[in-house]
Amino acid sequence: MEWKVRGIRGATTVTENSIEAIKEAVTELLDKIEAHNQFDSEDIICVFFTVTCDLNSLFPAAIARHRPGWDKVPLLDLQQMYVPGSLERCIRVLIQVNSLKPQSGIVHCYLRNAEQLRPDLTGCLESSTRSRDWA
């Protein structure tokens, strides 16, 4: 096996535009992504966060920066493109990591109301489990 760059996606929502709500949601999302994908912070290439235009109380990267080993990780916050009728109060993440896993072994996490964005990835299920469920 060889090391390859892999993308890990995830998203969550908050009930309100507050520091506490954003901190809790980002922490929960990153905790689940790390638990399911078991990567070391040294393997992270960079992390992109997007938030919908109704969230402006706190940068998600500010929360991530306080995670053990994440203080030197390149982090970027962006505003998600506004599309009328799209999911509100949503935080999305793309983590690029060096990994020995195949892309099919990466676990993407969509939590709370963000589950509707990718119902095929709900609950941080591994792709092999999803494939068997659809068969």
pLDDT tens digits for 87-98?
Answer: 999 999 999 999
Of 51, 52, 76, 50, the closest CA to residue 62 belongs to 76
Q: All domains of the chain, ordered by start, with CATH?
A: 4-134 (3.30.1330.40)
Asked whether residue 127 carries a pLDDT value surpassing 60, the answer given is: no
pLDDT class of 119 with cuts at 50, 70, 90: confident
Q: Give me the amino acid identity at 124.
A: C
pLDDT at residue 76, rounded to an integer: 98
Alpha helices (H) in the chain, listed in sequence order: 19-37, 60-64, 127-134
Can you give the pTM of this predicted structure?
0.89
Which residues lie closer than 8 Å to 95 by C-beta, 6 or more apart? 7, 8, 9, 10, 33, 44, 47
